[in-house]
Amino acid sequence: MTAAEHMAQVLRGTGLYTLDGDTRVDAELSAYGAGFALIEASFAELLGELFIETAAGYGLDCWELLFRPQVSAGTAGQRRASLLARLGVGGDAHTLAEYSALLPGAGVEGTLAETEEGGLLVTGSPAGVTEEEAERELDRLLPAHLAWELQQGETG
């Protein structure tokens, strides 16, 4: 319900006003409604941008700047996946599958495998970030005690 609709409902509820669309009160409510509509639209946009799952513009920029010095050039879907993965990072990853879940947080679409030397091989490509930025993020997110390498390749 819009603010104008709510105001009309309240006025009708008093029994003092007849709001048939042709009264001065209707005109005044219409003017108030036009002003409140601008605020309502801004508020709806703000609510959309507050949450990663619904952000599409400046909200994604704000979230990304919490983790890296510049925003990603990826699609909104890639950016959301990266942010959600990044927010899910904790100290409880111990398996290859759990480490693989960290890749989107580094802005990398790809796979993770163990090498014969006991390190990690990331095969894929940066998604919306430069290769240098992806490497920096991988260095932050992957376990410090394991050597890793980023190899450009297919992401599937």
Q: Read off the pLDDT of residues 61-81 as tens digits, 9 standing for 90 and up.
A: 999 999 888 888 889 999 999
pTM: 0.68
Backbone angles phi and psi of 123, in degrees to 5: -110, 115
Residues 121, 52: Cα–Cα separation, whole Å: 29
Question: Average pLDDT of 34-61?
Answer: 95
* Residue 69 burial (10 A CB sphere; 0-12, 13-18, 19+): exposed
pLDDT at 151 over 80: yes
Give the strand order in the sheet containing 120-126: 108-114, 120-126, 148-152
